[in-house]
């Protein structure tokens, strides 16, 4: 097992972080651009392995599309290969093949896709063959499982002969990610009618335009630097995060609001956001329905700063790269913190210990966000991160950037 020792960061830091590009924006832009027939029209694409995998598979004629562990890539490419009538076998890592995809497959089948399961019903691998439009242009799809199913269907909707009326049923999670999809679709020239009162989206049949499009920096990746400022023992610690927009499409930009309660002030500059320390609140309650990828980051900061935290909207964390709720419960316990479910599938309570204990090491569960969420603990103590290379999934340059704040002993 590979590990990395992060010695305690003893000096203050005042530097810039050149954030990576948004994986979420990149992956959507790649699919939309491919549907538009665009070539070389995208700039500032993410270095994340998920995005590089998407690019490789879009350019490949191979019969097997192995997405490795990239859930977004699996879902978006399944819809893309289906609507374009490509014969593909969609597969991935063992964990990827344990992540459900039945809701998306059912929706694509109802539109006319020929998709068969290779092994277990409802899970990859999948065999995709032809697409013959069924005549159905009205779909219902659950909103409480994964917004990526909805985004995958929306992006192919303009290519359907009669367009699509998409009705979202139940509670809707991660709505900002759906809005990101819609706004990127609109940027590529399509018209969409939103009726959020009735949870219905109408996409007429039309053509995308292959326009030049630049990707914003990644707010999910930015969250770990908010943590570093929050946990620094030096009141004059300061970071400027480069490449972020003041009015972002990314739902995780809400980290500015969350961290204002946990000790970080953020101010927009022409280049991004400047972070400085402020006093933290004595407790915090937050609904993560629209920003589940921030939950690990916030839990670690709240635990280390001894701020009791009430979390709702984190049910989807159970079916991510790992069961992130279990992973958090296990690793936070090493710090003396309890994360307990107090209402079934609804509310969790994080209760920090009065005395912060030092974990011997942090297990990362093949999950990039576990590694990056716990790394800022180095502001308070020596910390060992197991399998640190998992960060390549979304932020390959993370450890290089960590050196800029005095991490890794530099």
Interior/surface letters 286-318, b for 16+ CB within 10 angstroms, e for the rest: bebbbbbbbbbbbbbbbbbbbbbbebebbbbbe
Domain of 279, in residue numbers: 3-20+218-409
Rounded CA separation 94/104 (Å): 19
Token digits of residue 55 = 């690019």
pLDDT of residue 145: 84
pLDDT of residue 173: 83
Same domain, 51 and 94: yes
Q: Is the CA virtual torsion 268, 271, 272, 275 positive or negative?
A: negative
Nearest to 228 by CA among 3, 6, 24, 47: 6
- What is the separation of C-alpha 349 from the centre of its chain, rounded to a whole number of angstroms? 23
- Contact (Cβ atoms closer than 8 angstroms) between residue 29 and residue 19: no
Same domain, 387 and 265: yes
* pTM listed for this prediction: 0.85
> In 3-state terms, what secondary structure has residue 338?
strand
Same domain, 239 and 167: no
Q: 377 lies in a domain?
A: yes
| 113-156 tens-digit pLDDT | 999 999 999 999 999 999 999 999 999 999 988 899 999 999 99
For the chain, list residues with pLDDT below 50: none
Same domain, 162 and 252: no
pLDDT of residue 174: 85
Residues contacting residue 138 through CB under 8 Å, at least 6 positions apart: 164, 165, 167
CATH number, domain of 369, equals 3.65.10.10
Which residue is catalytic, options 293, 366, 382, 389?
Answer: 293
The two beta strands, 138-142 and 164-169, are parallel
Rounded CA separation 270/250 (Å): 18
Token digits of residue 407 = 């991490």
Q: Is 235 a catalytic residue?
A: no
Q: 327 lies in a domain?
A: yes
- Contact (Cβ atoms closer than 8 angstroms) between residue 280 and residue 291: no
- Contact (Cβ atoms closer than 8 angstroms) between residue 216 and residue 22: yes
Q: 211 lies in a domain?
A: no
Token digits of residue 199 = 């949870």
Rounded CA separation 94/89 (Å): 15
- Contact (Cβ atoms closer than 8 angstroms) between residue 179 and residue 24: no
Query: Of the candidates 134, 168, 200, which is a domain's last residue?
Result: 200
Same domain, 16 and 31: no
| 279-316 tens-digit pLDDT | 999 999 999 999 999 999 999 999 999 999 999 999 88
Same domain, 178 and 223: no
Residues contacting residue 381 through CB under 8 Å, at least 6 positions apart: 8, 358
Rounded CA separation 256/260 (Å): 6
Same domain, 357 and 249: yes
């Amino acid at each position: 097992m590979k590990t990395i020792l992060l010695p305690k960061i003893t000096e203050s830091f005042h530097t810039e972080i050149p954030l990576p590009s948004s994986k979420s924006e990149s992956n959507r832009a790649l699919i939309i651009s491919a549907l538009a027939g665009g070539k070389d029209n995208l700039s500032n694409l993410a270095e994340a392995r998920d995005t590089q995998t998407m690019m490789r598979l879009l350019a490949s004629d191979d019969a097997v599309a192995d997405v490795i562990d990239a859930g977004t890539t699996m879902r978006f490419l399944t819809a893309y290969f289906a609507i374009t009538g490509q014969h593909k076998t969609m597969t991935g890592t063992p964990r990827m093949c344990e992540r459900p995809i039945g809701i998306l497959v059912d929706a694509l089948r109802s539109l006319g896709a020929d998709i068969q399961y290779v092994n277990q019903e409802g899970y990859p691998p999948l065999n995709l063959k032809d697409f013959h439009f069924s005549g159905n242009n009205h779909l219902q799809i659950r909103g409480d499982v994964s917004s990526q199913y909805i985004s995958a269907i929306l992006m192919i909707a303009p290519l359907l002969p009669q367009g699509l009326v998409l009705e979202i049923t139940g509670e809707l999670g991660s709505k900002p990610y759906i809005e990101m999809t819609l706004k990127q679709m609109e940027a590529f020239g399509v018209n969409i009618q939103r009726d959020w009162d009735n949870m219905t989206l109408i996409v007429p049949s039309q053509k995308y335009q292959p326009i030049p499009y630049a990707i914003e920096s990644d707010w999910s990746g930015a969250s770990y630097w908010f943590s570093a400022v929050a946990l620094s023992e030096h009141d004059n610690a300061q970071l400027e995060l480069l490449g972020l927009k003041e009015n972002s499409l990314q739902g995780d930009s809400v980290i500015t609001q969350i961290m204002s309660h946990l000790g970080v002030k953020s101010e927009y500059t022409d280049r991004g956001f400047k972070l400085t320390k402020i006093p933290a609140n004595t407790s915090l309650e937050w609904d993560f329905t629209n920003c589940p990828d921030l939950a690990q980051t916030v839990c670690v900061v709240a635990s280390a700063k001894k701020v009791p935290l009430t979390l709702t909207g984190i049910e989807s964390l159970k079916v991510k790269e790992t069961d992130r709720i279990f992973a958090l419960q296990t690793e936070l316990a090493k710090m003396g913190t309890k994360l307990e479910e107090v209402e079934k599938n609804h509310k969790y309570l994080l209760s920090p210990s009065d005395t912060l204990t030092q974990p011997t090491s942090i297990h990362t569960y093949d999950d990039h966000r576990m590694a990056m969420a716990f790394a800022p603990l180095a502001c308070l103590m020596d910390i060992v991160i197991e399998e640190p290379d998992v960060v390549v999934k979304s932020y390959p340059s993370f450890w290089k950037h960590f050196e800029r704040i005095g991490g890794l002993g530099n």
